[in-house]
Structure 1
Amino acid sequence: MSQISQPAFLPQAASERSEAVAGSFRQSLQAAWLVDPKYDLLFLANLGWPLLVLFQWWGGLEIQSGVSFWQIYFITTPHRWITPALLFLERDRLQANKMKYILITVCLLTIPVAVKISTGALTCLLTIDYIWNAWHFAAQHHGIYSIYGRKTGGISARRARIDKWLMRTFLLYVTFRIASWVSLGSADSQGWGMLDTLFAAIPAGMILREFWQIRAETVGRCLYFTSVMTLYLSMLGAIVAKNPMMLLVLTTASALFHSIEYLAIVSWSVDRTQKSGKPTTALFTRLMPRWGLVLAVFIVILGMGAWLMESHLLELWLTANLIMAFLHYAYDGLIWKSRRRVPA
């Protein structure tokens, strides 16, 4: 009897094992995302950037100018100005480093104003802005990659340190390579070939490793990293190819990528704060359940205000925006250092 019935149970057992494996895979895949696949791929990995590049490339300067308008006023500017607002809404962060924030705020409010009054120009501050912004871009991209890494686990402290400096070094190299090529033009072409190849090998090797070691729970991290590094590799390729139009559309895509992912990670952080029930200001408690609407209104108002200010009060707007950029870089570094642990 047992010999007859045993084969009948084999398909059922195999089916149950298959369902268990599929269920385990789905569970692991769900853990790959900070929010969910659509949100992560659209707003964090920004997988639509190649389409945006093609759209600008085919549309020419007219389309590129239109994209830049929306990028500058309604994406980049709000992403900078939202940081101080968040800091004062989440008062626990402010209280944790109160003296640091006070000193930073005083310095970054007074120094640019003093330079502007004494020299009548912002040239030296714009140079500082470019350098600090380059570091900020690299730190943010690596920071989000690290959030994915801490969430999924499996990365040793040693590898995390190596990845940090490899990733940031490559991103910074591309940013300063752009500045060199734009400022020097054809005179910049000498002696860069070997360096370009050497630095291009960094993301190529790291991307290959990500895919070689990919697991269901690391899909989000892998796709985010690949998207960022491919974009920067493309910018380096545009420089090597001496193609200014392609570089222009790629840098616009890079600025959008950076700002969109920042607003997305801020929204993710707000959602986590709301779900955790952490004590915060009464105003922020009321705003968090309506965060999507609040963010949309903030973007529209600030974007319109920025456009009007630049149209009518250019010098004042440039100074104010530069100060806010510096505050954004400084505050952002302190804010995200205070959030190292990410629950799985």
Structure 2
Amino acid sequence: MTGQFRESLRSAWLVDPKYDLLFLVNLGWPLLVLLQWWGGLEIQSGISFWQVYFITTPHRWITPALLFMERDRLEANRNKYILITVCLLTIPLAVKISTGALTCLLTIDYIWNAWHFAAQHHGIYSIYGRKTGGISPRRSRIDKWLMRSFLLYVTLRIASWASWGSSTPGWGILDSLFATIPIGMMLREFWQLRAQTVGRCLYFTSVMTLYLAMLGAVVARSPMLLLVLTTASALFHSIEYLAIVSWAVDRTNQSGKSTTELFKRLMPRWGMILAVFIVILGMGAWLMQTHLMELWLTANLIMAFLHYAYDGLIWKSRKAVTT
């Protein structure tokens, strides 16, 4: 029985306990929040610097690089990718040139980014679910919309509070209603907990607890708490993305799937390649924003849009392959 339990527990992780807990479950986020809270704005701004330039920016810019290295995915949806690329290059540039500002595009970015965050968190939860099994298609669909709805609500609730404060009536009732979603789903995860679902349960609990905390910060009207929590959320999202990409690269390498010669050479050295990419892009982003801010903001916004769009297509194709 002990051997069977250990085997079941081993199957609970996408990679292994240390990797999953550190990079996917992101168990360190509460400590990061406490560090920022106790350290004040000075510590928070320092953490934000590293988060923006060396975590968030690389996680966005790596998506097009992966797409063009994995040429088979590009070829499978060539027309879609060409259309997306042309639209997302020309429309933002046209808006910037014609209006001289990025205000409307930043609004689109916030909304699209909110959906992207929700979709990614649910996507990783689904990967855990497919690995452990035992989830019916009906439950999977319900979980998808419940989880995404709550995550989207919190993100849009933050925007509403930042814009209009708490003067709009009815938020209290909505906050309570939406808060029941993660609480109920977490209780179900713990009720149905088995050795092989530990990774899924911990990941889901970590994500939902963070978003519940952000909702709580809005309800408590605490700007500083919300600031440190949103920084933790941005780090959580970007780190798990880089981690799941690395997991996918390793799976591709082990499976021997057809891909480009360049990617075949890079995959065995992926950890080193990723580290170099992060350092170079982070330093470049900092220098660009310091000396060419307008150009950098425009380029980074375009890359964010490409990241959202490409990412959806890439992971849909991966799901089709793995299911």
Unaligned regions of 5+ residues in structure 1, if any?
1-20
1:121 aligns with 101
Counterpart Cα distance in 2 of 1:101 and 1:201: 39
- The correspondence of residues 104-143 of structure 1 with structure 2, limited to 5 A, is 104-143=84-123
Note the alpha carbon deviations across 1:152-172, whole angstroms, 9 max, x for none: 000000000000000000000
Equivalent position amino acid for 1:88 in 2: F
Q: Quick check: 1:235–1:247 contact (8 Å CA) kept in 2? A: yes
Distance 2:164 2:322 in 1: 47
Please, what TM-score do these two structures have when normalized by structure 1? Answer: 0.93
TM-score, normalization by structure 2: 0.99
1:270-309 superposed matches below 5 A: 270-309=249-288
Distance 1:339 1:101, change over 3 A: same
1:37-90 CA distances to partner (integer Å, 9 max, x unpaired)?
000010001010000000000000000000000000000000000000000000
Runs of 4+ in 1 over 3 A off after TM superposition: 341-344
SS in 1 for 2:38: helix
**1:279, CA displacement in angstroms?**
1.4
Q: CA deviation at 1:341?
A: 5.8
Unaligned runs of 5+ in 2: none
Aligned positions of 1:1-344 closer than 5 A? 21-188=1-168, 190-340=169-319
Q: Which string of whole-angstrom CA distances, capped at 9 and with x for unpartnered residues, describes residues 195-221 of structure 1?
A: 101100000000000000001000000
Contact 1:151 1:343 in 2 (8 A): no
Partner Cα separation in structure 2 for residue 301 and residue 330 of structure 1? 24
Shift in Å, 1:342 = 7.8
CA change 1:108–1:274 in 2 (3 A) is: same
Residue identity opposite 2:49 in structure 1? F
* Offset of residue 340 of structure 1: 1.5
CA RMSD, aligned part only? Answer: 1.0
Higher alpha-carbon Rg? 1
Asked if the contact 1:32/1:216 (under 8 Å) is kept, the reply is yes
- Deviation string 1:5-46 (CA, Å, 9 cap, x unpaired) is xxxxxxxxxxxxxxxx00000000011000000000100010
For the 8 Å contact 1:80–1:328, the answer to whether it is kept is yes
Q: Deviation of residue 339 (structure 1)?
A: 1.3
Identity %: 84
Q: Is the 8 A contact 1:214 1:222 kept in 2?
A: yes
Q: Structure 1: how far apart are the matches of 2:166 and 2:238? A: 31
Where 2:135 maps in the other structure, the secondary structure is coil
Q: Deviations over 1:319-338 (max 9, x none)?
A: 00000000000000000001
Between Structure 1 and Structure 2, how many residues are aligned?
Answer: 323
Measure, in 2, the Cα distance between the counterparts of 1:341 and 1:231. Answer: 30
Post-superposition offset of 1:184 = 1.2
SS of the residue 1:26 aligns to: helix
How far the C-alpha of 1:309 sits from its partner, in A, is 0.2
Deviation at 1:187, TM superposition (A): 2.5
| Code of the aligned partner of 1:32 | A
How far the C-alpha of 1:95 sits from its partner, in A, is 0.7
